[in-house]
Amino acid sequence: MEPRRPLYASLTLLILVTSSQGGHSKSGPTLKMDQALLTFHNQLTEEMQVFYTSDSCYKCVYQRLVTVKPNNNNASAVISTKFPLTLQVERTRNVTLCSWSQTYGEGGHYSVWIQMSEAASNPSCTNAVDKRPNNVHLPLLVGALSLAVIALLFVVAPYIYRRSCTSKCIRTICCQGPQYSVDDDGAQACEVEHNTAKAKPTRLRSLDTFRGFALTVMVFVNYGGGGYWFFQHAPWNGLTVGDLVMPWFVFIIGTSVVLAFRSMQRRGVSRQQLLRKITWRTVVLLMLGFCFINYSPRDGPYFLGPERNPTESESLVETRPRCGPLLATVADNHPAGDSVALHHFAHACTQLPHVNPRIGYLGAGGIGDNGLYPNCTGGAAGYIDRWMFGDNMFRYPTCKEIYQTTQPFDPEGVLGTINSIAMGFLGMQAGKIIIFYRGANVRILCRFLVWAVILGISAAILSKCTRDGGFIPVNKNLWSLSYVMCTGCFSFLLLGGMYFVTDVKGWWGGQPFIYPGMNSIFVYVGHSLLGFYFPFSWEMRFQESHWEWLFQSLWATALWVLIAYLLYRKKFFLKI
């Protein structure tokens, strides 16, 4: 489960409201990241009310932004630039004068002139840009280019080294006549390289690479993702990069379980020993979870004593289930499949339109859905969690900022666990496919593609390819059925692509993601407990743009990847 950190530094909309008489003040407040200054100039003889709503807030009630007094007065407000805003200027008696939707730029100064139109006798609203906004994507572009250059260097350096080593081996082999003196060390090095080339890895490199990639993205997201909204969790419905990480991990767990269990069965591990191993790992994971719940970096340093153990090899074996090739992997696990299907159906029943909003409501509550269900955040999922655990739950859900909710809500609640089990079951199918069709790489990739297409089409039908208008919207907070199918589609595509590149063709060794992937427990625990101390993070001084935050996020993520690499070189792996 991802550690959560509320982003207090970026409020959604109204931060500061100032009013002045006559001209426009040029100094203005100091703007921070994802903020812009919006000033309303009222040249009419009556008072105006300005209301707003965020376009990312589904059917939200308009909120009051500023009140602009008449006769050449103005009022300013600092607004958020994360999402498009719809603003509405109203006269007295709720008469709408003008309304518009616009995406404002970070650091920009904007003016809205409320005046009589020259062409007609009706008043109008004219928008103007007083100060051009910053290029919010420039830091991201520079960061991406820097990473691309570093990746290119890491690709070119081993290639040069291999060419050099190959030349030495050729000279050693070709110069073995009596007239030449042969260097014993060079011959030994050539022989070692030849033997190393013959050795085949026992682990599935694509799975370690996929795990490491997901973990690297998680660390980057947990450090704030540079402050960009698409690297953070969606406010309610929708899908961002931050929403993909956790289901990827659950998918990987399902695949790893199948491979590890089959490996242990081949080694003759009894069911009793297997049960003890599962129980022990469950207890350790629960204890780690309790540590995260009760610990905060403000409590002082806290360290865990890892054991120095190597990782288990996830060997592949050839087995053949008894049924047809297309659905063989599902039928081989038919008791588990039936159970997951039953749980899936029960969960879906709570996510269909229903008369009782506590049962069928899928919204965030608060000011959403025209304010009809302010205390029904999460519908049945939130109601069951509060009924079982009380109000002592996570009080900073992603919907709190925009939807202005007051109810606590945990995105990893009881009902969400049901669909997370289904996500793990999809990962098990990937493991079964790899085992069943071992050596037939084309069949493995084709079946990965079939699963991805089926899940993708199902998610598109349930969501109607919209954010909020589908039968069951894609929603990470609820772990909705469409969310599981959509992220399952991405999981099969990513694992299949990495399997083709690393295990089939050998074009890529999985670096650098394979290093945190083989030490995922250590990296996750380490960045959760120590991640908000120096040198991983610091108090940022330049808060008017994304530059420093993005640098900090990339720096901290790179440090943990480097630590994982050093531990890999020392053959130090934390396992439970």
Are 384 and 413 in contact by the 8 Å Cβ rule? The answer is yes
Whole-number Å distance between alpha carbons of 75 and 273: 72
What is the edge-to-edge ordering of all strands in the sheet holding 96-102?
63-68, 48-54, 85-90, 96-102
- Helix (H/G/I), strand (E/B), else coil: 233: coil
What is the bridge-based pairing of β-strands 35-42 and 109-116?
parallel
Burial of 169 (0-12, 13-18, 19+ CB in 10 A): middle
Report residue 283 as tokens. 């207890």
Determine the angle formed by the axes of helices 334-349 and 414-436, rounding to 10 degrees: 150
- Nearest CA to 311 among 529, 567, 507? 567
Cβ within 8 Å of residue 44, ≥6 positions away:
70, 114, 115, 116, 123
Report residue 70 as tokens. 């008449």
What amino acid occupies position 547? W
- 49: part of which helix (H) or strand (E)? strand 48-54
Burial of 116 (0-12, 13-18, 19+ CB in 10 A): exposed
Please state, in angstroms and as integers, the Cα–Cα distance from residue 276 to each residue in 271, 280, 311, 421, 554, following that order. 9, 6, 18, 21, 40
Q: What is the separation, in whole angstroms, between the first and last Cα of the chain?
A: 17
Distance of CA 164 to the CA centre of its chain: 41
Whole-number Å distance between alpha carbons of 252 and 207: 7
- Helix (H/G/I), strand (E/B), else coil: 145: helix
Q: Which amino acids are annotated catalytic?
A: 233
